[in-house]
């Protein structure tokens, strides 16, 4: 698990450097590109972003529903 996290962090840094130097958003700052790099799979594969968004909405609805019962 730690190896997977390290690989993901390395990919984040590389994607942020690429985005800030040569990417479509190179006119933005490094911090902006670092934030985008944190979710780089959603940039490369837009359908992943839709899936993640759906999961977040389901998690919020479940949290609100379970909180009301308690």
- The verdict on 33 and 53 lying in the same domain is no
- The verdict on 7 and 29 lying in the same domain is yes
Residue-level pLDDT at 39: 87
- The verdict on 65 and 49 lying in the same domain is yes
- The verdict on 24 and 51 lying in the same domain is no
- The verdict on 1 and 33 lying in the same domain is yes
DSSP 27: T
Which residue in this structure is represented by tokens 């999961």? Answer: 55
- The verdict on 70 and 49 lying in the same domain is yes
Please state the domain count of the chain.
2
Q: How many helices (H) and strands (E) does the chain have?
A: 4, 0
Question: What does each C-alpha distance from 48 to 21, 40, 44, 66 come to in angstroms?
Answer: 25, 10, 9, 27
Q: Can you give the residue range of the structural domain that contains 56?
A: 45-70
Ordered per-residue pLDDT tens for the chain, 70 residues: 899 999 999 999 999 999 999 988 889 989 999 999 998 888 888 888 889 889 999 999 999 998 876 5
């Amino acid at each position: 698990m730690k190896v997977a996290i390290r690989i993901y962090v390395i990919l984040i840094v590389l994607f942020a450097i690429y985005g800030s130097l040569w990417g479509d958003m190179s006119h933005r700052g490094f911090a902006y590109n670092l934030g985008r790099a944190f979710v780089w799979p959603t940039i490369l594969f837009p359908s992943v972003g839709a899936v993640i968004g759906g999961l977040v909405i389901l998690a919020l609805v479940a949290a609100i529903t379970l909180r009301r019962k308690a």
